[in-house]
Amino acid sequence: MNLLDVRNLSIKLLTGEKAILAVDRVSLTMKEGEVRGLVGESGSGKSLLAQAIMGVLDDKWQVDADRFHWRGNDLMRLSPEERKSVIAKDVAMIFQEPMACLDPTTTIGEQLAEAVYSEEFTGFFWQKHQQRQLAAINLLHKVGIKNHQKCLKSYPHQLTDALCQRVMIAMALARKPLLLIADEPTAAMESTNQGQIFRLLASLNQLKNMSILLISHDLENVTHWTNTITVMYSGQFVEAGTTEQIFNCPYHPYTRALVDSSPKANMHIPVKSRLMTLPGSIPILQHLPIGCRLGPRCPKAQRACVKAPKVKNYHGHQVSCHYSLKDNY
């Protein structure tokens, strides 16, 4: 069964005279126990989409969707507040800058204890303090922090980025989420620490069957950890499929360019030769091209591309392009 099923979700920025369509009909499904990558360059609307799912965008933004199902329940029929509380119960989110999300004036121990659900405790109120402490220690062990005494007493700035991110994950786990949305969880780290965090997420996925939506701007960085990948460009849906489909035979010119431009995927090309790349850069919100937003940069663009393409589905491999590369393989 699909855990999350979102169809044609759009996000409008309500400014001045004309609303801007920041995210244009993007679909996303998550199965139980799945790790999905959400990939796109900076400014493609990944964080907006995640925030829209969590229901935490403010009044400036207007969110519409054709379908928004969570565990088979139609959330479109609920009010925004009800929807938010249903989601908050089962979905947790962690962010790019762990240090900035923690309260710098309080110890890790206190912040963790606060994150623990008190309803779960049985016993008298004087026992609750101790139960909270135990629960906090337990959470730290789950994210692989063994020296819990020292960690609990520390303030956020005394920990490294990777440790802070582990603490953030521990807090997210306190609610036993079914889905964890990780928005560039390793962006600020060096690669050996990145590996640690990815391995931790992978083990949580395996042991607890927790689904993970892994957001990243770098395709090559996440391919090892994901089952499926969704690619976005400038607020539009590009392509979705299994990691193998996306990496080995991308149907969309944009995905093709992403794969080709990665030096890691290009081990066969000669050292110091030119890398394949698209010209130009992602448009800003105020100057979005009409139709397919990749148009001005796309090597295959033709007249039809001034109309936004419809999503085509080839056995679960979805692509949104008038001239897909499907027949090239």
Ligand X SMILES: Nc1ncnc2c1ncn2[C@@H]1O[C@H](COP(=O)(O)OP(=O)(O)OP(=O)(O)O)[C@@H](O)[C@H]1O
Residue 43 touching ligand X (CB under 6 A): yes
**Binding residues among 34-93 for other proteins as defined by CB under 8 A:** 41-42
Give dist(CA 5, CA 95) in Å, integer: 22
Nearer residue to Mg ion within complex by CB, 47 or 154: 47
Give dist(CA 287, CA 282) in Å, integer: 10
Judged by CB under 5 A, how many residues of this single chain contact Mg ion? Answer: 1
Under 8 Å between Cβ of 211 and 34: yes
Residue 97 touching other proteins (CB under 8 A): no
Pairing relationship of beta strands 312-314 and 317-319 according to DSSP bridges = antiparallel
Considering only residues 253, 278, 283, 317, which one is a binding residue for ligand SF4 as defined by CB under 6 A? 253
**Binding residues among 41-70 for Mg ion as defined by CB under 5 A:** 47
**Binding residues among 206-225 for other proteins as defined by CB under 8 A:** 217-220, 223-224
* Residue 84 interacts with, from ligand SF4, Mg ion, ligand X, none (CB under 5-8 Å by kind): none
Judged by CB under 8 A, how many residues of this single chain contact other proteins? Answer: 35
Residue 133 touching ligand X (CB under 6 A): no
**Cβ 135 to ligand X shortest distance, Å:** 33
Taking CA atoms, 34 is separated from 12, 178, 214, 225, in Å, by 29, 10, 10, 11
Dihedrals φ, ψ of 306, to 5°? -75, -10
Give dist(CA 185, CA 29) in Å, integer: 21
Taking CA atoms, 22 is separated from 29, 33, 45, 47, 214, in Å, by 20, 30, 7, 11, 21
Interface with ligand X by CB under 6 A: which residues? Answer: 13, 22, 40, 42-48, 217, 285
Interface with ligand SF4 by CB under 6 A: which residues? Answer: 253, 292, 294-295, 298, 300-301, 305, 309, 321-323
Interface with Mg ion by CB under 5 A: which residues? Answer: 47
